[in-house]
Amino acid sequence: MPLSVAPGTIQSPSRGILTTTTWGARLALLALITLLAAGLSLADGKKHKLSKDLDAVKGGHNGATVDVIIQFNQTPTDAHHQKVQNKGGALKTKLDVIKGAHYSVPAGSLEDLEKDPDIAYISPNRSLSGTATPTLDYTPESVNAPTAWKQWGLNGTGIGVAVIDSGVTAVGDLYWWNPSNQTYGSRVVYSQNFVPGTTDTSDLYGHGTHVAGIIAGAGWFSTGSNFTHTFKGIAPNANIINLRVLDQNGAGTDSSVIAAIQTAISLKSTYNIRVINLSLG
């Protein structure tokens, strides 16, 4: 399901600052709920710690391993990670934002891990992909964005938007341009890769760049006498923080997305990130 989270400070041109939210905590809670809602239930009066799709593989003794996200009752310490490693697990990514981590563990260890009183829940590191995106034809008009641009000057200037997707290629419409001194530069101000096996942050799938255009496209390449319509994004002056979690086939995992959310939270002050966009499902 597509998800856009736009917390932080919300401003009104007529009333100033309306509300301020602790959006890091809210995103952490969102990620936590997303995982727990997948299979949390009660059994014999005790909390069932394994997601239903792991029940089918627990107790396996054929040497098979499974990628899992283990959540603890507190932010895990080295001692918590060591307990999982003592069961044959390998730590892959720390996910402190949800009091958890991504591990590869033997299927045969799941039952023992479920009994650990420090562990709150165990779920698979599920796969996900990019969702379909709308066309850019009249997206700003549908939310009356041109009125915000013209009447109040609200065009995203100084605001950072974290795009957690297939990467963003810095195409021309994602550049700023100063006609007075003929200078220009990319508004993709930060890039980081979370796809295993590569450091490439460019968009090899074509989804993330499209999403970034809907958010912050400036319309440079559809402006002029040869065009009947200028295609701008919702906030055409916003900066993009590119956090790549989907590979060239548009595939990714829960753990990569959570790690990217964690990074966006840590970069909030540096890039004035007010919005995190996840067009994933």
* Sequence letter at residue 48: H
| Dist. CA 280–CA 111, nearest whole Å | 31
Query: Strand 239-244 and strand 160-165: pairing?
Result: parallel
| Pair 214, 236: CB distance under 8 Å | no
Chain CA centroid to CA 110, Å: 28
- Looking at residue 180, its pLDDT comes to 80
Yes or no: say if 136 and 231 are a contact pair by the CB < 8 Å rule: yes
Q: Would you say 243 and 275 are in contact if contact means Cβ atoms under 8 Å apart?
A: no
Can you say whether the dihedral through the CA atoms of 44, 46, 52, 58 is positive or negative? negative
Tokens standing for 109? 């260890």
pLDDT > 50? residue 11: no
**Which percentage of the chain shows pLDDT scores above 70?**
78
**H or E element: which one contains 86?**
helix 78-86
pLDDT tens-digit series, residues 107-139: 999 999 999 999 999 999 999 998 765 555 566
Residue 29 DSSP one-character state: H
DSSP conformation class of 48: E
Q: Where are the domains of the chain?
A: 3-28+129-278, 40-125
Fold of 40-125: Alpha-Beta Plaits (3.30.70)
Quote the pTM value: 0.78
**CATH topology for 3-28+129-278?**
Rossmann fold (3.40.50)
